[in-house]
Chain A
Amino acid sequence: EIVLTQSPATLSLSPGERATLSCRASQSVSSYLAWYQQKPGQAPRLLIYDASNRATGIPARFSGSGSGTDFTLTISSLEPEDFAVYYCQQRSNWPRMYTFGQGTKLEIK
């Protein structure tokens, strides 16, 4: 079973700053990695798929990079609405299952 480890657990930044979130896989997931944003009381929202592709309607300040075991979500300049919890997720084929990282909470400093 592939384990996804996100770091840091909590990231404290101010609006306008750059945010860098990390997701490390216990074995290679190729480029099949996605990122989600979740705000309190809301469902997760897909931000990035296949490591670097923005989902429909996602602002250009969100970008993803990486392949293999190391992935990064970057928010170039934080807006007030970006403070939330972020999860990475991958799909493995054998056995078929989907796993999420434990999440990174991005909070206002």
Chain B
Amino acid sequence: EVQLVESGGGLVQPGGSLRLSCAASGFTFSSYSMNWVRQAPGKGLEWVSYISSSSSTIYYADSVKGRFTISRDNAKNSLYLQMNSLRAEDTAVYYCARAKLSEFDYWGQGTLVTVSS
């Protein structure tokens, strides 16, 4: 069974940093591209970042470019999102999602990031 479990969310002050993790199991992690998608409270879904299976290709949404860094460790079956210079508008539930081709076929349960003083 495919499982994605996010962790690392919490309350952080504006300008602060946080590192999210996503532990994958039930599939060959090193064969799949992965993504982070977020959802602000009461709002819709917003794609954040993509990383290819070998980490050779990475993309970011304009809203996080230069502040967030996606990475992965295939030996540990783990995906990461380093978030710096956090703003109030980054407050959201962050989901890791496995990329199929053009869509996301499995999602984690999400981890809540709250940016507030």
Contact = CB atoms under 8 A, between A and B. Distances in A.
Given A43-B108, A44-B107, A102 B44 contact: yes
Nearest to B106: A46
Interface stretch (B8-16, B18-26, B82-90, B95-103): B95-103
Contacts of B37: 98
Interface residues on B, range: 20 to 34
Main secondary structure on A side of the interface with B: strand
A107 to B, nearest CB: 15
Interface string B54-95: 000001010000000000000000000000000000000001
B103 A89 contact: yes
Nearest to A89: B103
A43 B38 CA distance: 10
Interface of A: 32, 34, 36, 38, 42-46, 49-50, 55-56, 87, 89-91, 95-103
Given A98-B37, A98-B102, A100-B46, 4 more contacts: A87-B45, A97-B59, A98-B50, A103-B44
